[in-house]
Structure 1
């Protein structure tokens, strides 16, 4: 079946999750982060994902904003940087994460080709709307779908069900794009054609399913969607 719908994960895929720590470190009040911000960004992201999985497994759901704050608290303490002012600034910056530079043109090319596009994310609706507005890409997206409507994080199948409901499409018509290897793998198992955006050149995760395509960034998504 031809691809008529392209669905993107948000954090790490469209939006650079390292941007908040990097940008804070460039601000005068937080210059002490010059050497530690990469570790803080890494630990923050790792714990954010780990906490989402654990909450999904245990059935103790909380929205992604709470999970993000709890992960940041751990990361700051682990790196000797626990400071309320820094925490507040990092959380503010996370609401306005920078999009990767190729994102607007890539989404514009999909729109020009008549391909529907949307976000499917662990993020809460408020978080996602803020990031999309900050990046100026709202007009290029048909739907912004949050796990909050089903109360469980990815990779639960209930989350992927949201795409068909919103777009009225079959799984085989969907190109699903994520920078998370586990997300791209789960989407492949669900029945989407999946793309792993492997910016770091990491090995493929050893999971029951594997992504169908691996790209270094998002630039090639419109051509790939057209070719399938």
Structure 2
């Protein structure tokens, strides 16, 4: 079945989730953060994901921005950092996450090939629209789909349903691109053709659903879409 639509996860896939901590750490007066920003970035991201799953299980939902704030608060406390100005700066930077260097060229190549392109993310519309605008990739996307629209987070099937419904296609006509192993498993189990951008060389998750393609960065996505 030919690919007609290329759907991207946002955080960690198109947008570098480490960028907020990295940029803040390089600013004047942030010597403490400069010593530990990679671990701050990792812990913040992991706690963000854990809270999205745990709140789903607990049936006590919050939107992804609240979860992002809660995850940062936990992380800063875990590292012994109590700094309201730094907290505000990190959250502001999260709205302006840098896209990976190859992202714009890859999206442009997909559009030139006549494919639909979109984001499908757990992020709120406000978060996603801010990141898209900051990265300058809006003209290269046909839509930005937020899990907020269906009230549950990935890897719930209801979230993946949004893509074929929006583009009037079969799941097998979608190339789903994600850097998250759990998302790759969920999307593949749903029925998407999945390209997993495995930047860290991690093992494939032991979950139902396996990616059709494993890439080191986004540059191989157009080739996956044309197979």
**Fold-level similarity (TM above 0.5):** yes
Question: 1:75 aligns to what?
Answer: 75
Query: How many Å separate the matches in 1 of 2:100 and 2:47?
Result: 22
**Which 5+ residue runs of structure 1 have no aligned equivalent?**
none
TM-score computed with the length of structure 1 as normaliser: 0.98
**Which 5+ residue runs of structure 2 have no aligned equivalent?**
none
Query: How many Å separate the matches in 1 of 2:223 and 2:195?
Result: 13
Question: 2:183 aligns to what?
Answer: 183
Question: 1:31 aligns to what?
Answer: 31
Question: 1:135 aligns to what?
Answer: 135
How far does the alpha carbon of each residue in 1:88-110 deviate from its partner, in whole angstroms, 9 at most, with x for none? 00000000000000000000000
Query: How many Å separate the matches in 1 of 2:26 and 2:60?
Result: 36
TM-score computed with the length of structure 2 as normaliser: 0.98
Query: How many Å separate the matches in 2 of 1:48 and 1:39?
Result: 14
Root-mean-square deviation (Å): 0.7
Contact kept in structure 2, 1:171 and 1:191, CA below 8 Å: yes
1:121 aligns with 2:148: no
Residues 143-162 of structure 1 mapped to structure 2, 5 A cutoff? 143-162=143-162
Contact kept in structure 1, 2:164 and 2:174, CA below 8 Å: no
Contact kept in structure 1, 2:213 and 2:224, CA below 8 Å: no
Question: 1:170 aligns to what?
Answer: 170
How far does the alpha carbon of each residue in 1:179-224 deviate from its partner, in whole angstroms, 9 at most, with x for none? 0001011100100001111000111111122111110000010111
Question: 1:14 aligns to what?
Answer: 14
Runs in 1 of length 4+ with deviation above 2 angstroms?
none
Query: How many Å separate the matches in 1 of 2:51 and 2:27?
Result: 29
Query: How many Å separate the matches in 2 of 1:129 and 1:84?
Result: 25
Query: How many Å separate the matches in 2 of 1:149 and 1:72?
Result: 24
Aligned residues: 227
Contact kept in structure 1, 2:177 and 2:195, CA below 8 Å: yes
